[in-house]
Amino acid sequence: MEAEKLKKIVREKYGRIAEQEVEGKTCCGSDSCCNSHMNYTVFSESYDKLDGYNPDADLNLGCGIPTEFAAIHMGDHVLDLGSGAGNDCFVARAITGPEGKVTGLDMTEQMILKARENCRKLGYDNVVFVEGDIEQMPFANNSFNVVISNCVLNLVPDKLKAFSEIFRVLRSGGHFCISDVVIKGSLPENLKRDAEMYAGCVSGALDMTDYINIIKETGFSKLLIHKQKEIRMPDSLLLKYLSQSELKYFYARDNGIFSITVTAEKPL
């Protein structure tokens, strides 16, 4: 599918997620959704013990905790890409303190509205949410000390452009910490083609080697993978797209879906 169609699918899907949470699980906006489609909690990690955590902002859409390895300091200006309802922004704000600033960028209007409402309730005056595209960020060069993102770049059609934009908006010596979904091996074609699986962070994911190469190609240095874990999708979901024999073959070849948390620095 062409890039603009993919973006439209993601925008509509996550707009529905922002508007409705089904029985405490984030789904795609219908009562049957959790049973028939993606349940995103298979990716997510618990934020319960983190300073700044706000349950109203946690839609269980992440695949890691990027602030854990982001080396954010008091007074930093932090950018969160695909900020959703504000979960990682509020955790980052607890680290930067009132002297810092946190900016959330999201292309889904409903998510921006939800995040701003959460921020209003918390009374923060140094956290802002901006509607925009990661491939064309509405920020000046060298604006941020740290960029974070949680299970979002896999949804961006042009990953090279996304990382180039991250490089542009970071200050010299600044760095990113990104949790994302990658593939080891190759995905079966039926999974690659399905829009639901794209919006569910799977079929838009790159091979891990290609992902790392894009980061290096963009100009980043000191790349480090801090965490890596396999994500085992429910067989009942995968069997919507694969036969039993295809599913067995997929796992037998050491293929798999993984979440990683990676950091890299913009050289001085």
Concatenating the DSSP letter of every residue in the chain gives: --HHHHHHHHHHHHHHHHH--BTTB--SSSTTHHHHS--GGGT----TTSTT--GGG--S--SS-GGGSS---TT-EEEEET-TTSHHHHHHHHHH-TTSEEEEEES-HHHHHHHHHHHHHHT-SSEEEEE-BTTB-SS-TT-EEEEEEES-GGG-S-HHHHHHHHHHHEEEEEEEEEEEEEEES---HHHHH-HHHHHTTSTTPPBHHHHHHHHHHHT-EEEEEEEEEE----HHHHTTTS-HHHHHHHHHTT-EEEEEEEEEE---
> Does residue 114 lie in a domain region?
yes
> Does residue 222 lie in a domain region?
yes
Residue 201's pLDDT is: 58
> Does residue 10 lie in a domain region?
no
Q: What is the mean pLDDT of the chain?
A: 86
**Which CATH number covers residue 92?**
3.40.50.150
> Does residue 34 lie in a domain region?
no
> CB atoms < 10 A from the CB of 246, how many?
15
Reported as a single tens digit per residue, the pLDDT across 159-198 is 999 999 999 999 999 999 999 999 887 777 766 665 556 5
> Does residue 28 lie in a domain region?
no
Q: In what order do the strands lie in the sheet with 256-265?
A: 127-131, 101-106, 77-81, 144-150, 170-184, 256-265, 221-230
The residue with greater pLDDT, 191 or 61, is 61
Domain encompassing residue 172: 46-265
pLDDT beyond 60 at 213: yes
Model pTM?
0.87
Reported as a single tens digit per residue, the pLDDT across 7-40 is 888 888 889 888 875 334 443 333 333 333 445 5
> Does residue 153 lie in a domain region?
yes
Q: How many domains does the chain have?
A: 1
